[in-house]
Every structure is written in C-alpha cells, then in structure tokens.
Amino acid sequence: MNHPEVISALSNILGHDAVLTGDAAAPYFKDWRGRFSGLAMAVVFPANTMQVSDVVRLCAAAQISIVPQGGNTSLCGGSVPLADQSPQLVINLSRMNRIRELDAINYTMTVEAGCKLASLYDAPEQADRLFPLGLTAIAPHCEIGGNLSTNAGGINVLRYGTARDLVLGLEVVLPDGRIWNGLRRLRKNNTGYDLKHLFIGAEGTLGIITAAVLKLFPRPKSTATACIAVRDPAVAVGLLAHLRAHCGDKISGYEIISRSCLELVFKHIPDAREPFTVQHEWIVITQLTDVLPAPLDEVLRDALHAYTDGIVEFKVTADALQSERWWTLRKNIAEAQKAEGVSIKHDVSVPLSRVAEFIAQASTALRAAYPDLRIVAFGHLGDGNMHYNASMPVALQNKDFVGQHEPDVNRIVYEVVARLDGSISAEHGLGQLKRDTIRDYKDPLELELMRSIKQTLDPLGLMNPGKVI
C-alpha cells in the first residue's frame, strides 16, 4: 500500500478532517521542549477505541510504525516520531476525552486517554472526591494516557503514589489491533499476571492505552502549608523524617527548591515574590491535608518548632491564597527554565536518605569540571526524586554548551546516581533521550526480559520505535 492509498484508507476510517498531513501536521512532530522532532506521513485523531483499533490494524498490515501521542508533553522525546525512520504515523488521542463513569461509592473514575489531566479534578470534586495526580508546569497540557504511559509522578507521590498506584484497570489497543478490555474496578483480583502494569510506564512501546479506571480518594477538608528555609539539603531530609513521625500520612507533598531556581522564577514569572525578607539558599514547601476539619496549621507549626537543627526560619498558613503563592515558586520552575533557554536536564532518584549526598557529590564533581556551571536543583524530596539541571549563567551560551558537553555532564551525574543505588529516570521516562544511556545502568537481565516482552507483544517492532529499548 503506497502513501496516497494509506492516507485515503485513514480518511475512510476516521473522516477527512481527522487526518492531517503536510504543514498542518508539522506541529505534532516536535516535542514540548523543542529538542526532538521527526517526520511522519500524517497525524490522525481517532474519536473512539474502535477507530484506534482500525487504524492500528491498517498500520500492522502495511508495516507502518506507530507513534502514540497525547498532549505531546514528553520531556524525553517519547511522543514524537523519529527523524530517520519511515514510514511513521502519529496517533493522537486528544479527541478521546470523555469521563465514561464516576463511581463515588467505589471511589473510581473511568476516563478516556485523551482527557487532559487538569480536566480530571472537577468531576471528582463535585462528588466530594479527589484525584491526586499533581503535576506542575505541564499539567494544563498533558493528558492522562501519556501520564500513565510514562508512570508520571508529581508533587503528591509521597502520600498517594505514582500514576501506577492510581490505576485499577486499563483498556489497551494491542500492536495487532486487538482490544484488551481490562477496565476492572476491583481492588482485589488475584487471577494471575496483573497485565496493566506492562503498559503503565511502557511509553507506548507495547500498545496504546485508550481508557483507564482511576482511583479516587476522600476530598481533604483541611489544609496547612509551610514554607521553610533550611541550612542545606541534609537538614531538609532530616526534617522530613521528623515531620512524618509527628504528622503521619497527613503530609501530601514535600518539595525542595534551591536559590538558583528561585532566581529564575523571579526573573521570568510575573508576581512571583520572595517568601522571606532574607534570601536563603534552600527552601522547602510542605503541605498537610486531612479529611477532618482540624486546625492543621497548629499541628504543623508545633512540629516545626520541635525541630531545631538547621531550620533558619519558617512560615505556616491555612490560607489557600498564601499557600498558592508559595506553591507558585515550585510549579513555575520548569517554565522559568524554558524561558531561559536549553539546559541539560536530569530526572533522577536515589534513596531518600541519600538525597543530600547526591546533591553534594554531583555538585562537587560538576563544578570541578565546569567551574562556571549553574546548577538548578529542585524536586520531590519526599520520594527521593530530584530534578537536577545544568546550564551556563548566560542564556546565549547554553546551546553550544549543551551541544558540546551534555554527554560528559550526564556521565558525571549518572555515575553519582549509580553509586548511590539510584535511577537515571524517576518520572519522565526514557523516550529517545535516555534509550541508549539506560544500557549502561540497568541490569543486563532486566533489559533482556524487557526485550522479550516487547518481542512477544510487538513482534514487528511497530509500536513507538526507537523509544525505551
């Protein structure tokens, strides 16, 4: 089947308006960061699972590679076609954006893959429920299918877990076009392999997630937020252990932010303000929530007063507006960095008890090699996930710096991660960016098992080629 015949067949399946080619399709071939771009014969927009199945069957018969896409916010090039492979077809699921069912008694919500994450908060709220997957800069744009395909994390992992922990069932179109209906709403189902976990975090390399049953939780009735200046990351790590002992599972988020992050936010984000009258090198933002209408600000304030080793100063509030001002400092770091230009980004994790070691060792090693380097360190300290990014202080220098030195900077950072028993990808996935690098840091047997699963489910290698493995 030649190119025009494929386009015609796709139009017959989906309708002419749901098939874009040429200049109209080009924006879907470039990633959110502007780093990766490729070429495909078209981008198509199925409206339902059966249309996805029909398109995949057509691609399988014609041996056309498939790139599943949602909001196209992958930070590792996982949602765009490759630059050097053809033919490829982008299947964008944004039209599949219905909430199929909300079961308040069962605390579940069944949604289609194209639902924007930001749209999945209102319906549970109206039923006095909470969907807790909380991302930051990309939240208005990303879609739940992509969140599940990358096993997204975010600011609430400490209490609620990653995307993997928030899923009870999936609907998936397999590489041959068959539809696996695993949309079960059960919390107990001990009948063999739990297949949904193959597709969560697989970045579309094993099949296309078209719908999911998501867990809901009781909606918090009380909240307290603290902004805390700490002497160094080691203090922040010790403080978290103290707060967990005093506040239990009421802690829903615990984020650390370095001075370099704050300076970028103040430079590029309007109305962002210093949280204290004195500038500090490290701050922590933490939040308590509870389903009971209790005065959590008193609980949080008392716990902080009881920890005297390394807290420079702190503020606590139960006011939603003040809380949001502090969270704005954290949520806008990625946007501020994007405005500053390209940087070498690292999404890594180490055991929580070793986060301070990671920051100290990686910073020492990088500055020994690049004395003028600006290190932008921030992240989800509560689960050991640090976003540890490197760039030059002068934005115009960064394109050349990244082009010349990224492999060496990555090697320095990843060697520290490996020594501390960590992972080179905590929540962003591998995509194109880390596909080759992972071979140096993952156990060979694990890679062999991953390839075996890929071969079994996708023997033609058509699903999102060049990503993950």
What is the structure's pLDDT at 420? 97
Dihedral of CA 59/60/64/65: which sign? Answer: positive
DSSP letter for 219, please. Answer: P
**In terms of pLDDT, which residue wins out, 118 or 111?**
111
Whether the predicted pLDDT of 33 surpasses 90: no
Integer angstrom CA distances of residue 219 from 121, 129, 140, 165, 303: 11, 5, 21, 18, 24
Q: In what order do the strands lie in the sheet with 347-349?
A: 311-317, 222-230, 282-290, 251-258, 374-380, 385-391, 347-349
CB atoms near residue 364 (< 10 Å): 11
pLDDT above 80: residue 221: yes
Q: Which of 247, 195, 185, 171 is nearest to 216 (CA)?
A: 185
- Whole-number Å distance between alpha carbons of 305 and 92: 51
Q: Which of 204, 226, 211, 151 is nearest to 179 (CA)?
A: 211
Q: Is 305 helix (H, G, I), strand (E, B) or coil?
A: helix
What distances in angstroms separate CA 126 from CA 96, 97, 104, 387, one per listed residue? 22, 18, 10, 34
Q: Is the pLDDT of residue 140 over 80?
A: no
Mean pLDDT of the chain: 94
Backbone angles phi, psi at 55, to 5 degrees: -65, -45
pLDDT at 137: 61
**Whether the predicted pLDDT of 210 surpasses 90:** yes
Helix, strand, coil shares of the chain, percent, nearest 5, are 40, 25, 40
Longest dimension (CA), the chain: 72
Note whether 212 and 144 are within 8 A (CB).
Answer: yes
pLDDT at 284: 98
Where does the pLDDT of residue 134 fall: very low under 50, low under 70, confident under 90, or very high at 90 and above?
A: confident
Q: Is the pLDDT of residue 296 over 90?
A: yes
The pLDDT of 39-45, averaged and rounded, is 96
In percent, how much of the chain has pLDDT > 70?
Answer: 99
Q: What is the pLDDT of residues 225-236, one digit of tens each?
A: 999 999 999 999
Report the candidate in 445, 429, 229, 230 with the shortest Cα–Cα distance to residue 349: 429
- Model's pTM, two decimal places? 0.93
- The full length of the chain comes to 469
Helical H segments across 64-210, by residue range? 122-126, 144-149, 157-160, 196-199
How would CATH label the architecture of 3-92?
Answer: 2-Layer Sandwich (3.30)
Residues of the chain with CATH 3.30.43.10: 3-92
Asked if residue 35 has pLDDT above 90, the reply is no
Mean pLDDT in residue range 205-228: 97
For 17-49, give one letter per residue: b (16+ CB within 10 A) or e: ebbbeeeebeebbbbbbebbebbbbbbbbbbeb
Instruction: Give the torsion through C-alpha atoms of 455, 456, 460, 466, to 10 deg.
Output: -40
pLDDT digits (tens, 9 = 90+) for 401-410: 998 999 999 9
Angstrom distance (rounded) from CA 195 to CA 115: 22
Question: Does the pLDDT at position 294 exceed 90?
Answer: no
Quickly state the pLDDT bin for 84 (edges 50, 70, 90). confident
pLDDT at 34: 76
Which CATH class for the 341-430 domain?
A: alpha beta
The CATH 3.30.465.10 domain(s) of the chain lie at 99-218
The CATH class of the 222-331 domain is alpha beta
Q: Cα dihedral angle (440, 443, 449, 450), rounded to 10 degrees?
A: -40
Give the tokens for residue 359: 């920051």
| pLDDT attached to residue 1 | 66
Q: Give the per-residue pLDDT at 395.
A: 82
pLDDT of residue 398: 84
Question: From CA 285, how far away is CA 334, in angstroms rounded?
Answer: 16
Using one digit for the tens of pLDDT, what is the confidence trace for 447-464?
Answer: 999 999 999 999 999 999
User: Above 90 in pLDDT, residue 90?
Assistant: yes
- Delimiting residues of CATH 3.30.70.2190 domain(s) in the chain: 222-331
Cα(326)–Cα(313) distance, rounded to whole angstroms? Answer: 15
CATH 3.30.70.2740 range(s) for the chain read 341-430
CATH code given to domain 99-218:
3.30.465.10
Q: Three-class SS of residue 125? A: helix
pLDDT score at 339: 86
Q: What is the pLDDT of residues 330-376, one digit of tens each?
A: 999 988 988 888 889 999 999 999 999 999 999 999 999 999 999 99
Q: What angle do CA 216, 249, 354 make, to 5 degrees?
A: 115
What letter would DSSP give residue 397? Answer: G
Cα–Cα distance, 43 to 29 (Å, whole number): 9
